[in-house]
Structure formats: C-alpha cells, structure tokens
Amino acid sequence: MSIQSNRLSAEQYAQNFSDLHPAFETADAALVEANRCLFCYDAPCMKSCPTNIDVPKFIRQITTENLKGSAHTILVSNIMGAGCSKVCPVEKLCEGACVFNFMEEEPIAIAKLQRYSTEKALQHKWKLFTRKESFGKKVAIIGAGPAGLSCAHMLSREGVDVTIYERENEGGGLMTYGIAAYKVTPQFCKDEVDYILSIGGINIKYEQELGRNIELSELQNNYDAVYLAFGVGLARQLQIPGEDLTGVVDAINFIYEIRNKGYSNVAVGNKVAVIGMGMTAIDAATQAKRLGAEEVTILYRRTQDEMPSTEVELKIAKLDGCKIVWLAAPKEILHGAGKVAGLKVSLMKLGETDASGRRSPVETEEEFILEADMVIKATGQMPFEELVNNNDLINKNGKLSVSDKGITNITGVFAGGDCVNGGKEVVDAVQAGKDGAAEILKYLVATDARMGTDKKSGAEL
C-alpha cells in the first residue's frame, strides 16, 4: 500500500479526531473543580500566562456562578481565551505553575475551567465589550491571525476603525488552518473569529495579500498606522537529495489539507517518517496515524532533553503509537519509480553547546535505512524574508526586527506575533497584538497632539 486517502471508516475518522480535551460533562463538575482552587495571592498561574489572565478571579467567579463575569475576566486579557483553553501548552504555562504541583497533587484544571466559561460566551454570543465612539483614526492590519485579531479588537474597543487585509479566505490564521483538528475544529475557529468581530469597527478584506494586491506604501498613505502580523511561512527545506520526490510533503500543507478537505480526502502513507520534534511535527505525526497510517516514525537529531515540544505532546504521540528515534537525522530520501521508498538516516551524537544553549548534534559514521512511503518535513517554518526586505524593514535572521513593544524602524508601522518571534504559541501572538495596539494608540494620540487637535483616544490598556 502507498499514499492514499479514505483509509478508514467514517466512524473511525470521527473517533480519531474527536476532542482531545473534552469539556466538563456537568456544571457541578466544573463547580467542584473551581472550588479546589486556593485563590492564591500573587498567583503563580497568572504570572505564567503570557496574557496575564487573572486566573484566581475568573475561577472564583465560576464558584459564584457568575459565568459572564468569568468570561469577561478571561477575554479582557485574552480575546482568544476560548481557543487558548484548547490549544495552549498549559503544562508549561498556568497549570505548570499551579501551587498544587508542589503539593504533589493534580494542578487545577485551569484550561478546562477557562473553556467552561468562554465557550458559553461564544455559544450565547454574550456582548461583553462595547466599542467606544469612533474618534476618526484608521489602522490597517496585515493578517487575520491571533496577533492581528487581538490588535484589531483592542483598537476597536478604543474607537479606532480597523481594516484587516488577509491573504486567505478565512480569519484565524494558523489557529484556523494550522493547529491539529483534534484540538480545535474549523467550526469553533469560525465562531471565535465571528465573536471577535461582533464588537464592530473591524472590516476584514479577504484574499488580499501584502506584496501582491497591496503595498505597504499604499497603506501608509491611506491609514493613520499599520500593524504587520503576517506570521511565518512554509516548512524549512531539509537540503538533502530526494526532497522533490512524490510523497515528500510540508507539515503545514499536510495539516492545512486535513482542515480544509476533510479527513477522508487527505492522502497519507502507510509508513510515514516525520522529521522534527516541535509541536508541528507532533501534530503531523499524530494526525498521520489518526488518518490510518500503519507506522509513523518521528526522527529528531537531538535528544529528548533538547526537544522543543512538551512532555504532554510527546506523550500524545506515543499513545497514538508513533515511534520516536532520537539522535537521528535524514541524509537522503530514497526512491523507487519516482516515489519515496525510504530514508537513509545518520545517527548523531551531541557535541559542543551552541548559541541556543543546547548541545549541537554531530553526525557519526553510523547509518540505517528506514522504510517509508511518505516523508513529512517539520523542522521549523521559514520567515517571510522577502516581505521584510522589500519593504525596507529590519531583517533579523529573516524575522522582522522590532523594538520591545512592536515598533518597527518605519514611523507609523508596527508588528508582532510569529513574524517577529519566528513562531511561538497563540497566546504569545495574542499578547503581541495587545502590546502593538497599546503602542499604536500612544502613537495616534501623539500624532494628534502634534497636529494641534485635542482629540483623545481614552485608551485604557
């Protein structure tokens, strides 16, 4: 058997792609969990959330059955708090910092509680935010991903008129078309984007691409400020022979197809090799297995101590039956009749510590052949370097370089999210959007003052 679609029955697909972290079954179960919280002073869970959600406050609001208040507490700090409750690596963030860990007890199920109140806000379309009256300022945003949407919502709350230019025909960025389908469904992502837009004052122009249909200079002329949140691009090349063979795919494209075509229409190999050990690699590997691949092997050139994914992600891959080979790097993709037939793999050892503070992998003379009919590349994403260079922005290793809070080298142009940090998590992009909005508001107020007007934004960030 080689690469093919429709490997499983509809029931099997539905079971394999069901919710990874199911919601509380009853309101009582949520109440019991919320009541375990110690409502710590100076709560470590709150400090370890990049968006600084007031965790003890929203949990206390659940205990008093004030769900609207609880949802507001979450969403005021993180407008994608519903999505983050499903995709955040909480084991290294809020839940990882919960004091219960030090008592060797289960941490509070913060994400599940966050999901409990925010899902209700989305389901019932609770109007928790009102937009201040427009004060005549217009901001253009490139990209309707988490950074762009968070910036847009914050600006709109303060009465700024926002237009987002988005390359795709849907909003949400990688949340909508990148993250594994068993974490967030396309319908959930659509509901979350609709909820964000329901504040008003945000217009999204779809299928509009910076560098193709629109230019930065045009936006600078037509708007008072511009925020760039175009994320990062496709997977990095492996730079080894055989990379062009049929059966070699990019992890982002593979996941995008699962989100867009439906499970049964996505072709998957029987023996799949995944290269890399980040969240994208794990998502691609587990989804290949859930699409019906018989064997999935993840190859990583370093050891478990250096892997970018979390232990929880690794556990998911292992529970799904994926095999992991540490200290192994692909050397050549082997072919039979123009298609992938296997992978020549070099065994590595760890050498000197490099600039990243990790020990570098060094090739040994030992090799082995891994049988495979599909290779998925997931060794990090390539920044949109051309967009940075062509627009005279500062290029720092391909990424867009900004000051602390998202100010670029061009006056009136701000940036944040993956295009600046090179690819982190949704919650980091949301915070970057907030920081960018705060700087833009300061800039709009300052330019107004310079022009001698007395208009005020009334920003409360």
Residues that bind ligand SF4 (CB under 6 A): 37-40, 43-45, 55-56, 98-100, 108, 110
Binding residues among 181-240 for ligand FAD as defined by CB under 6 A: 183, 209-211, 229-231
Q: Does 424 bind ligand FAD (CB under 6 A)?
A: yes
218 Cβ contact list (under 8 Å, min separation 6): none
Q: How far is the CB of 237 from ligand SF4 (least distance, A)?
A: 43
Whether 202 and 164 have beta carbons less than 8 Å apart is answered as yes
Q: Would you call 377 helix, strand, or coil by DSSP?
A: strand
Q: Does 21 bind ligand FAD (CB under 6 A)?
A: no
Q: Does 166 bind ligand FAD (CB under 6 A)?
A: yes
For the record, the structure tokens of 104 come out as 């060797």
The single residue among 142, 202, 333, 340 that binds ligand FAD, judged by CB under 6 A, is 142
Q: How far apart are CA 292 and CA 356, in angstroms?
A: 37
| Helices 146-157, 186-197: inter-axial angle, 10-degree rounding | 20
Q: How far is the CB of 32 from ligand SF4 (least distance, A)?
A: 14
Burial class (CB in 10 A: 0-12, 13-18, 19+), 417: buried
Q: Does 292 bind ligand FAD (CB under 6 A)?
A: no
Whether 293 and 32 have beta carbons less than 8 Å apart is answered as no
Strands 413-415, 225-228: pairing kind: parallel
Provide the sign of the torsion angle of the four alpha carbons 352, 355, 357, 359, taken in this order.
negative
Whether 7 and 291 have beta carbons less than 8 Å apart is answered as yes
x-or-dash string of contact with ligand FAD, 24-63, rule CB under 6 A: ----------------------------------------
Burial class (CB in 10 A: 0-12, 13-18, 19+), 105: exposed
Contact partner, 43, from ligand FAD, ligand SF4, none, Cβ < 5-8 Å per class: ligand SF4
Binding residues among 109-128 for ligand FAD as defined by CB under 6 A: none
Residue placing its CB nearer to ligand FAD in the complex, 183 or 339: 183
First-last CA distance in the chain: 57
Residue placing its CB nearer to ligand SF4 in the complex, 56 or 423: 56
Q: How far is the CB of 96 from ligand FAD (least distance, A)?
A: 14
Contact partner, 147, from ligand FAD, ligand SF4, none, Cβ < 5-8 Å per class: ligand FAD
Contact partner, 45, from ligand FAD, ligand SF4, none, Cβ < 5-8 Å per class: ligand SF4
Contact partner, 199, from ligand FAD, ligand SF4, none, Cβ < 5-8 Å per class: none
Q: Does 154 bind ligand FAD (CB under 6 A)?
A: no
Whether 159 and 139 have beta carbons less than 8 Å apart is answered as no
Contact partner, 269, from ligand SF4, ligand FAD, none, Cβ < 5-8 Å per class: none
Residue placing its CB nearer to ligand FAD in the complex, 23 or 449: 23
| DSSP result, 95-127 | HHH-GGGGGTSPPP-HHHHHHHHHHHHHHTT--
For the record, the structure tokens of 70 come out as 């609880």
Q: Does 258 bind ligand FAD (CB under 6 A)?
A: no
Q: What are the beta bridge partners of residue 168? A: none
Q: What are the beta bridge partners of residue 140? A: 163, 226
| CA nearest to 204, candidates 137, 131, 141, 136 | 141
Whether 66 and 116 have beta carbons less than 8 Å apart is answered as no
Q: How far is the CB of 140 from ligand SF4 (least distance, A)?
A: 39
Q: Does 91 bind ligand FAD (CB under 6 A)?
A: no
Q: Would you call 219 helix, strand, or coil by DSSP?
A: helix
Q: Does 87 bind ligand FAD (CB under 6 A)?
A: yes
Residue 342 identity (one-letter amino acid): G
Q: How far is the CB of 122 from ligand SF4 (least distance, A)?
A: 23
The greatest distance separating any two alpha carbons of the chain, rounded to the nearest whole angstrom, comes to 73
Q: Does 436 bind ligand FAD (CB under 6 A)?
A: no
Q: Would you call 300 helix, strand, or coil by DSSP?
A: coil
Q: How far is the CB of 218 from ligand FAD (least distance, A)?
A: 13
Residue placing its CB nearer to ligand SF4 in the complex, 90 or 154: 90
Q: Residue 161's Cα: distance from chain center in Å?
A: 26
Q: Does 145 bind ligand FAD (CB under 6 A)?
A: yes
Q: How far is the CB of 432 from ligand SF4 (least distance, A)?
A: 24
Q: Does 174 bind ligand FAD (CB under 6 A)?
A: yes
The single residue among 17, 126, 165, 300 that binds ligand FAD, judged by CB under 6 A, is 165
Q: Does 413 bind ligand FAD (CB under 6 A)?
A: no
Q: Does 147 bind ligand FAD (CB under 6 A)?
A: yes
Q: Does 179 bind ligand FAD (CB under 6 A)?
A: yes
How many Å is the Cα radius of gyration of the chain? Answer: 23
The residue ranges that bind ligand FAD (CB under 6 A) are: 87-88, 142-148, 165-168, 173-175, 178-179, 183, 209-211, 229-231, 252, 255, 279-280, 283, 387, 417-418, 423-427, 429
